[in-house]
Amino acid sequence: MMISRTLAADLPRHVGERTRIAGWLHRRRELKSVTFLVLRDRSGLAQVVLTEPSAIAATAGLPEETVLDVVGTVTANPQAPGGAELTEPTVTALSDPAKPPPFDLYRPAARATLPTVLDHASVALRHPKLRAPFEISAASVAGFRATLDELGFTEIQTPKIVESATESGANVFGIDYFGRPAYLAQSPQFFKQAVVGVFERVHEVGPVFRAEPHDTTRHLAQYTSLDAEFGYITDHRDVMVVLRDVIAGMVASVAARAAAAVELLDVTLPVVPQAIPQLHFAEAQELLAANSGEDPRGEPDLAPAHERWLSEWAAREHGSDFLFVTGYPMVKRPFYTHPDPARPAYSNSFDLLFRGLELVTGGQRLHRYSDYLAALAARGGNPAAYESYLSTFAHGMPPHGGFAIGLERWTARLVGASNIRETTLFPRDLNRLSP
Amino acid sequence: MMISRTLAADLPRHVGERTRIAGWLHRRRELKSVTFLVLRDRSGLAQVVLTEPSAIAATAGLPEETVLDVVGTVTANPQAPGGAELTEPTVTALSDPAKPPPFDLYRPAARATLPTVLDHASVALRHPKLRAPFEISAASVAGFRATLDELGFTEIQTPKIVESATESGANVFGIDYFGRPAYLAQSPQFFKQAVVGVFERVHEVGPVFRAEPHDTTRHLAQYTSLDAEFGYITDHRDVMVVLRDVIAGMVASVAARAAAAVELLDVTLPVVPQAIPQLHFAEAQELLAANSGEDPRGEPDLAPAHERWLSEWAAREHGSDFLFVTGYPMVKRPFYTHPDPARPAYSNSFDLLFRGLELVTGGQRLHRYSDYLAALAARGGNPAAYESYLSTFAHGMPPHGGFAIGLERWTARLVGASNIRETTLFPRDLNRLSP
């Protein structure tokens, strides 16, 4: 009779039983009269003990990473991973003998350069420490959705092929669409706003595309955007309240669903304050001018160095890994941004900084058709180019806003990766189009 | 003091209280001395009663779909939607007066042609009956993920821009990728298989792209694929067991999360049998030859009419809305398909038919590098074109398989939509690139 498979992590619950495990041969250790096979499956590692000379000989030629099926007796052993091992095993290979991986997967640290990892991703990411960020990433996405579901948001899917560039003509990929020109969507912005009229509250997790001409550690040609948009807000502060809950939900989900990965990578999960500290853009500039040794006043945006300084300030003064900077100047925000009614040169928008880096951008959007026409006119934009988007606002739209979180950037910051490619399974950039 | 907003569906719980609601002016009815405003929000409808001549006059000019904020006293009235209405209201417009929608949104049936709906999607889909399929769709996706999460699957994100066509050179969209040719991914097939080596069990919900040159009711240039792939299977039957649970989970999620939409559209949810009936492809052909009046034996695939006949057979003979057809001829399956070891002209693959339509394709894949080289050689394929994909299999891969469900097709079949565009927010096809 076929014995169903037991995961490595569950072995201790089967001591004394004849049990089947299956996994990759993570490591073989040959002692004088005993050979240990360490198998790796999705739950962890399991040790198999071979003492019969014929059994040792039969597995002697099997290289690491070969896939094995092992039936044996579960025996308690405090020195084995998890406190139990398989003895008296019958070993069957499920794959051909494996070609050696590009670096040793069994070593506690992954001794490989980033290009080696990326070139051989489907093998390299088997290393538990290289796989762990993606478990944290998956748990983060689950937390994002769970929080918004609870708040009555509806999940949507929007087109990734669009007739014209979403926000600007720059950095878009062109497509041959049945002989017509089309583009890959830089964001679901227009679509998610449009369906606020249908569902009130929507979220989408999906790919967005930027033809980034620069090769940096934090830009990709495709990344995963966690988008939310909702109506019936007073202003951007309502959006910040929801975003705070979403971030807290993501952290809680990582703690609950990816605990082993968090431990393996020695990640310190952030505490999300009930009220994340916030600074108005103008206040932030004053603070920088008074304390940072630089005077950025008059600049329309914050430089990365300023974001780092402000993040350190928030950690020092408020004990927070997060900081909202609100009220960015309208001149640096897209045309659909809602101005601050009291100070129209500033916007009802925000960035959320996390450990020194801009992680989320969001804010209130315009919701009146007449305001859109005026905003486009003031910027020299052509309303005809946005006709189907704009028409929605003529049909009755509530005050609304939303935000977008870059998933790979979030995970990179969380696990302390210096390059966003470490948290992307198969990155796409200026130079990389495969694997 | 600002009163926080109450949803229409929650009004009955606030009888006697001064309460604020907000929504779209769904319908105005003017009687001799009373005007009724029916507001629509994401939870349903709420009635507002105006009796003061000045209040009636103040709202007289407001067209339907204008966004309103109403503060009033919740008063029980068995004839109002939900059994309660707002009296003594103060009405404030949150939007400019709305331009009329392309058809009446307040009528119980949506009196609009499909092109009108698609051209004005962000307004047309506000009609409760046109919105309902998307609530069912969102609930289906949630059920897909919840079922697989429970089974230890990890959510992944894979590239949508690829170096070469996934499965064949036909029907791919070309991109200008920083001056190099690239393509939009037709499926995550290669990526999801590759990371079975990393995570063992993976799922992804994401867009796939097909440059379909035909204008049909069931093909789109972009659709949403619900993908799963997992290792350590015996053969395709293990995949069918998981798929059965996933479909059952999707149906259960629709029942739990989209009950109002199911009721509004009068959808009969299918019962998913513990064991879905199945026929081998050869048996299916025999059955058709003996009973359908046609003889398809010798054909390598089933025609749509045959799928319908077989579905009716399953309903009649087994009381099932679902039917597995297994063992499709290898000649019609992609090169990575695992053959049936006992009858190598047939494959370890399946289709799942749902109410007459092919809904899911899946099966066991090859997992040995040598088998891939042989399969490509037999078909005249060029291994060099698949180098990075194939290399994974040289490094030790377990027997694995998976499936892909077309989300829009699933929802269409469930709600009885005759055109897949009715279950796609903003469809993309041969002729349509906006909105």
Chain A: closest CA distance from residue B99 (Å): 5
Output the CA–CA distances (angstroms, integers) from residue B370 to A236, B267, B375, B390, B393, in the order listed.
Answer: 58, 49, 9, 10, 9
Q: For residue A105, is it within any domain?
A: no
Residue type for B380, please?
A: G
Q: Which residues in chain A have Cβ-Cβ distances shorter than 8 Å to B195?
A: 122, 125, 425
Write out chain B in H/E/C secondary structure: CCCCECCHHHHHHHCCCEEEEEEEEEEEEECCCCEEEEEEECCEEEEEEECCHHHHHHHCCCCCCCEEEEEEEEEECCCCHHHEEEEEEEEEECCCCCCCCCCCCCCCCCCCCHHHHHHCHHHHCCCHHHHHHHHHHHHHHHHHHHHHHHCCCEECCCCCEECCCCCCCCCCCEEEECCEEEEECCCCHHHHHHCHHHHCEEEEEEEEECCCCCCCCCCCCEEEEEEEEEECCCCHHHHHHHHHHHHHHHHHHHHHHCHHHHHHCCCCCCCCCCCCCEEEHHHHHHHHHHHCCCCCCCCCCCCHHHHHHHHHHHHHHHCCCEEEEECCEHHHCCCCECECCCCCCEECEEEEEECCEEEEEEEEECCCHHHHHHHHHHHCCCHHHHHHHHHHHHCCCCCEEEEEEEHHHHHHHHHCCCCHHHHCCCCCCCCCCCC
Cα dihedral B98, B103, B104, B107, rounded to 10, equals -150
Question: Where is the domain boundary, B93, B113, B133?
Answer: B93
Instruction: Please indicate, yes or no, whether residues A164 and A76 belong to a single structural domain of this protein.
Output: no
Residue with tokens 């968090």: A262
Total number of domains in chain B: 2
* Helices and strands (H and E) in chain A: how many: 13, 16
What is the CB neighbour count within 10 angstroms for residue B377?
12
A27, with CB counted inside 10 A (0-12, 13-18, 19+), is middle
Task: Using CB atoms, pick whichever of A22, A134, A394 lies closest to residue B99.
Answer: A394
- Whether the CA torsion B42, B43, B45, B48 is positive or negative: it is negative
Q: Per-residue pLDDT tens for A61-92?
A: 899 999 999 999 999 999 998 899 999 999 99
CATH value at residue A149: 3.30.930.10
* A99 belongs to a structural domain: no
Residue B158 shares a structural domain with residue B262: yes
A232 with A345, same domain?
yes
Positions in chain A short of pLDDT 50: 1
Query: How close A392 gets to chain B, by Cα (Å)?
Result: 6
- Which of B93, B115, B144 marks a domain boundary? B93
**Whole-number Å distance between alpha carbons of B246 and B361:** 14
Helix (H), strand (E) at residue A35: strand A35-41
8 A C-beta contact, residue B41 and residue A200? yes
User: Residue A114: inside a domain, yes or no?
Assistant: no
Final residue before a domain boundary, out of A54, A71, A93: A93
- Tell me if B195 and A122 make a contact (CB, 8 A cut-off): yes
- On whether the CB atoms of residues A3 and A20 are closer than 8 A, the answer is yes
Shared domain check, A135 and A83: no
Is this prediction's ipTM beyond 0.90?
yes
Verify whether the Cβ–Cβ distance B22 to A398 is below 8 Å.
yes
Phi, psi of A183, deg, nearest 5: -140, 155
CA distance A324 to chain B (A): 24
Inter-chain CB proximity B25 and A434 less than 8 Å: no
Enter the tokens of residue B76: 């029980």
Q: Is the dihedral of CA B106, B109, B112, B117 positive or negative?
A: positive
B432 is in an annotated binding site: no
Contact B136, B409 (CB under 8 A): no
Domain range for A74? 8-93
User: Do B94 and A398 make contact, defined as CB atoms within 8 angstroms?
Assistant: yes
The pLDDT score that the predictor gives to residue A1 is 47
Query: Of B68, B40, B74, which is closest to residue B55 (Cα–Cα)?
Result: B68
Q: Are residues B21 and B133 in the same domain?
A: no
Please tell me the distance from the alpha carbon of residue B45 to that of residue B39, in angstroms, as a whole number: 6
φ, ψ (nearest 5 deg) of residue A211: -80, 70
Check if the beta carbon of residue B321 is closer than 8 Å to that of residue B334: no
The secondary structure element, H or E, covering residue A390 is: helix A387-394
DSSP annotation of A330? G
Residue A25 sits in a domain of what CATH number? Answer: 2.40.50.140
A108 within domain boundaries: no
A304 and A349, same domain (yes or no): yes
- Burial of B384 (C-beta count, 10 Å sphere; 0-12/13-18/19+): exposed
- Does A350 share its domain with A242? yes
Q: Which of B154, B156, B163 is facing A433, going by the closest CB pair?
A: B163
Which 79-118 residues of chain B touch chain A by CB within 8 A?
94-96, 98-99, 101
Is A267 at the interface with chain B, CB within 8 A?
no
B398–A94 C-beta distance less than 8 A: yes
B197: nearest Cα among A63, A23, A228: A23
In chain B, residues with a C-beta closer than 8 Å to the C-beta of A232 are 5, 22, 41, 94
So what's the pLDDT on residue B169?
60
| Whether A237 and A331 share a structural domain | yes
Q: How far is CA A241 from CA A159, A336, A401, in A?
A: 28, 21, 12
Looking at the structure, tell me whether residues A284 and A344 fall in a common domain: yes
Q: Chain A residue closest to B135 (CA)? A: A154
What does the block give as tokens for B37?
Answer: 């405003």
Answer whether A150's CB lies under 8 Å from A169's CB. Answer: no
- The answer to whether position A199 is within a domain reads yes
Per-residue pLDDT 10s for chain B (435 aa) are 467 999 999 999 999 999 999 999 999 999 999 999 999 999 999 999 999 999 999 899 899 999 999 999 999 999 998 899 999 999 999 999 999 999 999 999 999 999 999 999 999 999 999 999 999 999 999 999 999 999 999 999 999 999 987 566 679 999 999 999 999 999 999 999 999 999 999 999 999 999 988 889 988 999 999 999 999 999 999 999 999 999 999 999 999 999 999 999 999 999 999 999 999 999 999 999 999 888 999 999 999 999 999 999 999 999 999 999 999 999 999 999 999 999 999 999 999 999 999 999 999 999 999 999 999 999 988 888 888 899 999 999 999 999 999 999 999 999 999 999 999 999 999 999 999
Q: What is the spatial distance between Cα B68 and Cα B70, in angstroms, rounded to a whole number? A: 6
Question: Which residues 370-389 of chain A have a CB within 8 Å of chain B?
Answer: 370, 388-389
Number of neighbouring beta carbons within 10 Å of residue A119: 17
| B300 shares a domain with B221 | yes
Whole-angstrom Cα distance, residue A380 to residue A265?
A: 50
- A112 vs A217, A414, B390, CA distance in Å? 17, 21, 22
Beta bridge partners of B47: B38, B85
Residue window 268-287, chain B: list those with CB within 8 Å of chain A: none
Pick from A123, A370, A396: which is nearest to B66 by CB? A396
CA of A65 vs chain B CAs: smallest distance (Å): 5
Q: Based on the fold, state whether residues A293 and A414 are members of the same structural domain.
A: yes
Given a contact cutoff of 8 angstroms between Cβ atoms, the answer to whether B133 and B264 are in contact is: no
Please report the pLDDT score of residue B203 as a whole number.
98
Residue with tokens 């606020």: A196
Residue B384 lies in a domain: yes
Closest to B95 (Cβ–Cβ): which among A95, A137, A396? A396
Q: Tell me, yes or no, whether A73 and A16 share the same domain.
A: yes
The whole-angstrom separation of Cα A66 and Cα A333 is 53
Domain assignment of residue B207, yes or no:
yes
**Separation in Å, CA B186 to CA B169, B189, B220:** 10, 8, 12
Residues in chain B, overall count: 435
A117 in a structural domain: no
CB contact under 8 A, B154 and A176: no
Q: Are B298 and B332 in contact (CB under 8 A)?
A: no
Strands A44-50 and A84-93 come out as: parallel
A329-342: per-residue pLDDT in tens? 999 999 999 999 99
How far apart CA A27 and CA A57 sit, in angstroms, is 16
